[in-house]
Structure 1
Amino acid sequence: MSSALENKVALVTGGSHGIGRAIAERFARDGAAVGIGFAHDETAAHDAVERIRANGGRAFAVHTELGTDGDAARLWEAFDEAGHEHAEDGKLDILVNNAAKGSFARLAELAEEDFDKVYAASVKAPFFITKLALPRLRDGGRIINISSLAATLASPQMIAYGAAKAALDAFTLALAKDLGPRGITVNSVAPGVILTRNNASLRDNEQAAAQVVARVALGRLGQPEDVAGIAAFLASDDGGWVTGQVIDASGGTAL
């Protein structure tokens, strides 16, 4: 097991599935104790924890539904309760804001209620989770926000989601400037189409998959581990001179 993140403590929101889980598993392999945030799928979260532990890593599940009133405070309360063996003082070194809510509606069909849900989970929650994390985050720490190519590539069918991720990128830029004096780096990672459960239909639809691949310079669909590798670099000492950036993790989509 690598020691790139030895003695570090991390929290990954939305860590029970997909990109979040891949990041959590990678951080654990690199030596960190990882809190796996989840909202609904307790089975998947505990499976992720057990898998990490079976491989010699350290992990714990942190249950909070984001996008609801008081979610940020509840998240850190759950972190303290579940992670006391690994973070006795409540401190951490790495925060990954991965959890988000999608929307597949053009503006003409977008309900105001759905817009509010997207922003509550994808923008408001990361803002205030991070705000409450500031006294917990050790100097020299890392904040990694999982954005999306939808923030910069026209996606009318995901207009609310793309706008939310663009807001997250603006947050990244301002926060990097704000936290620079503490040696804390803040970056966004912007995946393209990644083979997660949200895109599971691509596994069985060869035509649709081929259309996506045709736009990717590297000629294949992305995997969660592709994004996790970038996050691991940013979390490591090697990533310590990178801040305020939105890093494309799309394999060169629509170049």
Structure 2
Amino acid sequence: MQGKSALVTGGGGGFGKAIAELLLADGVAVTLADNDPAKLDAARDLLSSKVPGARIATIAGDATSEADVQVAIDAAIAHGGGLDIVVGTVGGGSGFGAILDLPYDKFMSDYALNVGSAFLLVKLATPRMQTGSSFVFISSAAAVTPLPNLVSYCTVKAGLDHFTRSAAIELSPRGIRFNAVRPGTTETDGMAHAFARDGFAASAAAKIPLARTGKPFDIAKAVHYLASDDASWITGQCWTVDGGAGLRTGG
């Protein structure tokens, strides 16, 4: 991947940092985008210490704002001399809540955050990318495993999967690939509150055939492969990386 250019949204988070580290180590010029400038600064400092000579740029903005996403794409192209890889890690949900108690505006904001952010990246970046480029999105194992009191998160991640597949077939004449990775229970920034609870990690690991929860690099390695030329004949795929948990839930 030496000499390529990448944009990683949600770049200040656990997945974003791990993915960026692998890309930077391969000589990719990486632009990190996030809505939290402090997290971006911390991520840049961390990655610079881990990958000496890394080509890192940062840009703050809202992943659901068309204007901000356009600025981020412009910044990535200016930094890397083009744009070959786009990784969308932005996502999340309103937390636990019953369907009958979930406010409509929260449901729709979850949709905008998870699916809308991916739509904007594809809409704005694709026309400026060349044949052989790729997109990879962070979905969730919840996209295929319905969970009580998580209807919003499950629904929007399923929507992200289908958006990924739809983009892959519609935009295939451009020679650009679109894939997603579905993490299982992974110890990343967004799950810190859960892993801080006594017994959570052990309880989660007991439900996983490989007997441990995930780490950000477990997910990052799958993203790295899908973004690379080694995966040049793979598109429209949503890979579950969950230690085999879906084998027990039917996901």
Q: 1:253 aligns with which of 235, 245, 248?
A: 245
Change (3 A) 1:126 1:204: closer
Read off the aligned partner of 2:220 and give its amino acid letter: A
Q: 1:61 matched to which residue of 2?
A: 58
Q: Is the 8 A contact 1:63 1:75 kept in 2?
A: no
Aligned-pair identity (%) = 36
Q: Is the 8 A contact 1:73 1:132 kept in 2?
A: no
Q: 2:220 aligns with which of 214, 223, 228?
A: 228
Structure 1 residue 73: Cα displacement: 2.9
Alignment RMSD (CA, Å) = 1.7
Q: 1:158 matched to which residue of 2?
A: 150
Q: 1:93 matched to which residue of 2?
A: 84
Q: Distance in 2 between matches of 1:247 and 1:12?
A: 19
Deviations 1:7-29 (A, max 9, x none): 11111110101112211111111
Q: 1:73 aligns with which of 60, 67, 75?
A: 67
Which consecutive residues of structure 1, in runs of 5 or more, have no partner in the other structure? none
Change (3 A) 1:180 1:78: closer
TM-score calculated relative to the size of structure 2: 0.91
Read off the aligned partner of 2:133 and give its amino acid letter: G
Q: Is the 8 A contact 2:5 2:77 kept in 1?
A: no
Which consecutive residues of structure 2, in runs of 5 or more, have no partner in the other structure? none
Q: 1:50 aligns with which of 45, 59, 62?
A: 45
Structure 1 residue 101: Cα displacement: 3.1
Change (3 A) 1:240 1:82: closer
Q: 2:30 aligns with which of 26, 30, 34?
A: 34
Q: Is the 8 A contact 1:123 1:164 kept in 2?
A: yes
Change (3 A) 1:106 1:243: same
Read off the aligned partner of 1:133 and give its amino acid letter: A
Read off the aligned partner of 1:48 and give its amino acid letter: A
SS at match of 1:34: strand
SS at match of 2:15: helix
1:24 equivalent to 2:20? Answer yes
Q: Is the 8 A contact 1:52 1:58 kept in 2?
A: no
Q: Distance in 2 between matches of 1:254 and 1:101?
A: 20
SS at match of 2:127: coil
Number of residues of Structure 1 aligned to a counterpart in Structure 2:
244
Q: 1:12 matched to which residue of 2?
A: 8
Deviations 1:99-129 (A, max 9, x none): 0131222212211111121111111121122
Read off the aligned partner of 1:74 and give its amino acid letter: D
Structure 1 residue 177: Cα displacement: 1.1
Structure 1 residue 51: Cα displacement: 2.9
